[in-house]
Amino acid sequence: MSSALNVAPRPTAPAKGASPDEFTVTDPALVKRAVKAAALGNAMEWFDFGVYSYIAVTLGKVFFPSGNPTAQLLATFGAFAAAFLVRPIGGMVFGPLGDRVGRQKVLAVTMIMMAAGTFAIGLIPSYATIGVWAPILLLLARLVQGFSTGGEYGGASTFIAEYAPDKKRGFFGSWLEFGTLAGYIGGAGLVTLMTALLSSDDLLSWGWRIPFLIAGPMGIIGLYLRMRLEETPAFAAELKNAHESEKARPKVKVRDMIAGQWKALLLCVGLVLVFNVTDYMLLSYMPSYLTSELHYDETHGLLVVLGVMALMMIVQPFAGALSDRVGRRPVIAAGCVGFFALSVPALLLIRDGSLWAIALGMGALGLLLVCFTSAMPSALPALFPTRVRYGSLSIGFNISVSLFGGTTPLVVTALIGATGNMMMPAYYMMAAAVIGGIAVWFMTESARRPLPGSLPAVEPGDLPRTATATAA
C-alpha cells in the first residue's frame, strides 16, 4: 500500500467510443434522492443520541435515583454505552443481509427499528413509578436501537457511495454526516429550548419525553423516502451478472467478510476509532463535562455546542468537495495531526470557563472533526469490494464504535473519577489521533477512482457524444 500522502488523481472520462458496459452513468436527480434518504436516517439516529447525551443529567434522575450526581451520570452513560455492545451483532446480521438481498430493503428495516426503539423510550414510566423495571426497559430500548444502528451507517454510506459519481463521491458522502450534525442540532436545540422554557420539575416529570416521542413521525418520513428508491447501480449490476450467468449469487459468510478482508478491516477499525472517539468526545461528552465536571451553566454550554455544530455544518460540504480534489488521505491526516497537536491547548481553553475561551476551544476541535466527518463516508466504503462492502464495513465500523466510540463518555468519566485529572479528555483524543494516523499511513487513496469491484461511475456530462448508456 502507498505510504505517501499523495493528492487524488484527476478523473478520467470514458474514452471516445467506449462501450456503455464499461461504465455506469449516474442520474443526478436520483443521486440527490438517495443522499436525502440516507442522510435523514442518520439524522434520526443521531437526533436520539444527541438528545440522550444532552439530557443525560435529567435521565439519570428519572431512571437512576441516587444521592451522587456522578453515579447517576455514570449509570446513564452506562445505558448509553450498552447499546454499542450489540452494534457488532446488528452489523453481522444486517451487513451480510444487505449484500445478499439489497441495500435498500435492509435500510428500510433499520429505519423502522430505530424509530420504534427511540419512541419506546418516551413511553417508559419513571423509576418512582415502576421501580427497577424502569432502567431495565430503558436498557432494552437502547439495545433495540443499538442492534438497528449496527446496519445503519455501513448501509447508508455504502448506499451513497454506490450511487455517487466517482469524481464527486466525497461531496455527496459528506451530506451523510451533514445529516448527523442536523440530528444533533435538532436534538440539542430542542433540549436547550425545553431547559429554557420548562421548570426543573416539569422537565423531570414529563418534558424529557417529548424529544423521544418525536422519533415516530420522523421514522415514517424516513421510511417513505427510502422505500421510494431503487437499488444502487453497483448492487443491481451484481444481480444482473448473476442472472446472465444463470447462477445464484454465492452467499458470503461472515467469516469470509472478516478473514478475507482482514487488512481492510484493520484499516477500517483504526479510521473509525479516531473518527468516533473525537466525535463522541466533542458532541456527546462535552456538554456533560461542562456541566458536571466544570460546573458550567447548562444552557450556555449547550448553546456553545450548538454553535460549533452549526459551524461544522457550514464547512462540511466544502470539506467533502476538497477531499475529492486533494484526496481523502490528506484531509483525514490533517485531522489526526490537528487533534494530536491541539487537544491539550483546546481543552485548556475550555477549562478557562469564560464563554469566549470555551467557544474558541470547542470551535477548534469542531473544525478538526470536520476532516473526519467530511471524508470518512466516502473513504470507508472504498476499502471493500462490492460483493462484501455492506457486510465488511458494518462489521468493522461497529466493532470499532462499540469498543472505542460509544464507550468514550463512560471511559473518560471513569478516568477522571479515578485519577482526578481533568485533562483526560485531551489525552484520550491524542491517543486516538495516533492510531488514526497509522491507519491513514497505510490506506490507499480512493478519491476520483471507481469503487473496488464496481464499474467507473460518471455523470451524463462526462459521456462522449458517441457513447450511449442507461442512467443508473
And the C-alpha cell for 162? 454506490
| Distance from C-alpha of 338 to C-alpha of 251, rounded to nearest angstrom | 43
**Which residue type does 335 have?**
G
Helix axes 87-101, 69-85, angle to 10 degrees: 30
Do 344 and 438 meet the contact criterion of CB atoms below 8 Å apart?
A: no
Domain residue extents for the chain: 26-234+252-447
pLDDT digits (tens, 9 = 90+) for 403-420: 888 788 888 888 988 998
Are 157 and 176 contacting, i.e. CB atoms less than 8 angstroms apart?
yes
Query: Hey, what's the cell of 205?
Result: 416529570
State residue 291's pLDDT score: 77
- Which residues lie across from 24 on neighbouring strands? 457
> Counting Cβ atoms within 10 Å, is residue 297 exposed (0-12), middle (13-18) or buried (19+)?
exposed
pLDDT the model gives residue 349: 93
Q: What CATH architecture applies to the domain 26-234+252-447?
A: Up-down Bundle (1.20)
| The predicted structure's pLDDT at residue 299 | 66
Give the separation between CA 458 and CA 168, rounded to whole angstroms. 9
Lowest-pLDDT choice from 72-81, 276-285, 361-370: 72-81
> What is the average per-residue pLDDT within 375-392?
94
Cα-flanking dihedrals φ and ψ of residue 354, to 5°? Answer: -75, 155
What does each C-alpha distance from 452 to 238, 241, 344, 386 come to in angstroms?
A: 13, 16, 39, 6
CA distance 191 to 303: 10
Cell digits of residue 259: 478473514
Q: 321-335 pLDDT, tens per residue?
A: 999 999 999 999 999
Report the amino acid identity of residue 330: P
Nearest one of 51, 30, 377, 389 to 225, comparing CA atoms: 30
What's the pTM? Answer: 0.85
Q: What is the mean pLDDT of residues 234-247?
A: 70
User: Please, what sign has the CA dihedral across residues 102, 391, 438, 432?
Assistant: positive
For residue range 296-324, list pLDDT tens digits in order: 776 677 778 888 989 999 999 999 999 99
pLDDT tens sequence across 73-115? 667 767 766 777 888 899 989 998 999 888 989 998 988 888 8
pLDDT at 5: 53
